[in-house]
Amino acid sequence: MAKAKARKLKLEAQDGEGEFTPRIDVEIAGIHFQNPVMTASGTFGYGQEFAHLIDLNRLGAIIVKGISADPLPGNPAPRIYETEAGMLNAIGLQNVGACTFLEEKLPFLRTLKARCIVNVFGYSTEDYVRCIEILNAGEGIDAYELNISCPNTRCGGIVYGSDPKLTEEVVAASKRAARFPLIVKLSPNVTDIGVFARAAEAAGADALSLVNTFVGMAIDIETRRPRISNLTAGLSGPAIKPVALRLVYQATQAVRIPVIGIGGITSAEDALEYLIAGAQAIQVGTANFYSPDTSLRVIDGIRDYCLRHRLHLAQLIGSLKHGVNGAGEH
Ligand SMILES: Cc1cc2nc3c(=O)[nH]c(=O)nc-3n(C[C@H](O)[C@H](O)[C@H](O)COP(=O)(O)O)c2cc1C
């Protein structure tokens, strides 16, 4: 009886929809990813911290906490504050430094099926280059992600990612030094994202990722003091999603290199919006703090959607239609 039912179901599947296995793998900057879902820098430690919570081998990539040439202690507490639908953070880029990363963190990461992307930052162009030169020795690194939302202390503290000339300078120097492909992570705190996307592309970026956090602040009205010791902090989480989605869409329109979408993704539906807008892959950030299995649910949800719509991921990317629902075909 059970066998007959199973045979009937199989026949129905063949008759009706037919068998279809969607492909959700992607290639970005010459690297093959088993799926388009990555964990965002600074929200997933060095990967190993999450090994007891989820199957890391299922992820498209792990992007590790920002690494600098020398270790950094970060800012004093309080450095995190929960907001409506998001969080503010001013961790201050605390990290173990490039040498310790190679010795203590990378050996675990290279055992995984997930790709390993190392997020790099500095406070001068020389810092970025020095960090990359150390990391170039790392077997198992698949790409660098350059965090350019940092002030250039040699240039009056102007944030690299808010000045097109500084963006070009740091990207060109990093690209020259880098042994692995270079993904440039753009700041959203600019008036025209296209200018920065094109500057990074012109300077040799292999791909872009965006967005980093939006500069914000919060005040305790009883003490009339800032909620975060640094005064200003980066806003992330669902609160930023619509703005981040718009920026990602505009960046995809401005350049030919692949774009990776980041900002407030908590579900497959969120991720699908970015992919339809033109992102080739996405990153999950803040959601890792309260729901560490978010990335796995996003992978499953993207596959289910592709199956339901009988699409391979490549057919979905950038498939945004014009005109709103009701103004033509849905
Ligand atoms: C606590 C925290 C630490 C972060 N650290 C880094 C970092 O070291 N380097 C970096 O490029 N981005 C860092 N980010 C930014 C995230 O990678 C991501 O771009 C941002 O949070 C937006 O995505 P989300 O809304 O999904 O969190 C950090 C974000 C948070 C919340």
Structural domains in the chain plus CATH codes: 33-74+97-219+235-316 (3.20.20.70)
Q: What is the pLDDT of residue 290?
A: 97
Q: Can you give the pLDDT at residue 23?
A: 98
Query: Does the beta carbon of 264 sit less than 6 angstroms from any atom of ligand 1?
Result: yes
91 Cβ below 6 A of ligand 1 = yes
Angle between helix 294-309 and 268-277 (nearest 10): 60
37-39 and 281-284 strand pairing? parallel
CA-closest residue to ligand 1 atom 18 = 212
Please tell me the distance from the alpha carbon of residue 172 to that of residue 166, in angstroms, as a whole number. 10
Mean pLDDT of 283-312: 98
Is the link from the previous residue into 211 a cis peptide, with omega within 30 of 0?
yes
Query: What mean pLDDT is predicted for residues 305-324?
Result: 96
Report the separation in Å between the CA atom of 269 and the middle of ligand 1, taken as the mean of its atom positions. Answer: 20
Handedness of CA 32, 271, 57, 120 (dihedral sign): positive
In tens, the pLDDT along 141-171 reads 999 999 999 988 888 889 999 999 999 999 9
Q: Tell me which of 98-102, 238-242, 323-327 is least confident.
A: 323-327
pLDDT digits (tens, 9 = 90+) for 75-102: 999 999 999 999 999 999 999 999 999 9
Residue with the smallest CA separation from ligand 1 atom 5 is 42
Q: Catalytic residue positions?
A: 150
Q: What's the whole-number average pLDDT of the chain?
A: 94
Provide the whole-model pTM. 0.94
Please state which of the ranges 6-15, 57-66, 193-202, 295-304 shows the lowest mean pLDDT: 6-15
Residue 103 has pLDDT above 80, yes or no: yes
* pLDDT score, position 12: 43
Per-residue pLDDT at 329: 54
Please give the pLDDT value at position 327: 59
Give residue 162's pLDDT: 95
Minimum CA distance residue for ligand 1 atom 10: 41
pLDDT attached to residue 17: 53
Report which ligand 1 atom has the smallest distance to the Cα of 80.
Answer: 1
For the CA atoms of 307, 310, 311, 316, the dihedral, rounded to the nearest 10 degrees, stands at -90
Is pLDDT at 14 greater than 60 in this prediction? Answer: no
pLDDT band for 106, please (50, 70, 90 cuts).
very high
pLDDT of residue 202: 98
Looking at residue 153, its pLDDT comes to 84
pLDDT at position 326: 66
* C-beta of 236 in contact with ligand 1 (< 6 A): yes
pLDDT at position 223: 98
Residues in the chain, total: 330
Quote the CA–CA distance of 304 and 222 in Å, as a whole number. Answer: 49
Q: Please give the number of the atom of ligand 1 that sits closest to the Cα of 147.
A: 11
Give the residue-averaged pLDDT of 207-221.
Answer: 97
